[in-house]
Chains A and B, each alone.
Chain A
Amino acid sequence: MADTPTPDRTLDAKGLLCPMPIVKLAKAMKELESGQVILLEATDPGAVPDVAAWSKNTGNPTLAQETVDKVMRFWIQKA
């Protein structure tokens, strides 16, 4: 993806299964300042709908998403 935001932090959740990517994302997000961006990397097959649901409910928007070789990357901004 050409225009992905530069993340302030990267969270490697590859290999972790539901619910751990979301739990780790929620914990990491608490340590960010408003406006900062986290890059979440996950391989859990449910990650795309899960991150979408998490963004919708917490109000922290997913700015961009890509999937390359079964690794899903999400750029998520702290609201």
Chain B
Amino acid sequence: MSRLLYVHTGGVNQPERSATPIYLATTAAAMDVEVGIYFTVNGPTLLEKGVAEKLIVPKHDGHGAPLRRFIDQALDMGVKFYVCQPSLDLHGLTQDDLIDGVAMIGGAAFNDMALEADRVICF
């Protein structure tokens, strides 16, 4: 099975950048690709409980969808979500503040995943 690893650095301050890596990862999962998203830098702010329900992914006509819909689709399709502690510390978050289904890894595990993946795609 092919493997893709997405790196998501966008946070709540950039709603227009929030959904794209998530729905691309969802599509990869639908193509029978083993896929994970590593949320780092500002990425973990998208995973704070209660945030994604209120964060609207903008559309030009004003009828955007909440980010939570994209997250739920991804988790439902088997996309794995990862964070690391330093980027949680950056925002004063702990793993308990995050939605269910997010795994904690460290830099070594991330690098190992990158080496094992067929491609790493960074946002």
> CB within 8 Å of B: which residues of A?
18-19, 22-23, 25-27, 53-54, 57-58
Contact = CB atoms under 8 A, between A and B. Distances in A.
Interface string B35-53: 0000000000000000000
A53 B33 CA distance: 12
Contacts, number: 32
Contacts of B2: 57
Interface residues of B, number: 12
Given A22-B30, A54-B31, A57-B33, 12 more contacts: A18-B23, A18-B27, A19-B30, A22-B31, A23-B26, A23-B30, A23-B73, A26-B29, A26-B31, A26-B77, A57-B2, A58-B32
Q: Per DSSP, are chain B's interface residues mostly helix, strand or loop, or mixed?
A: helix
Interface of B: 2, 23-24, 26-27, 29-33, 73, 77
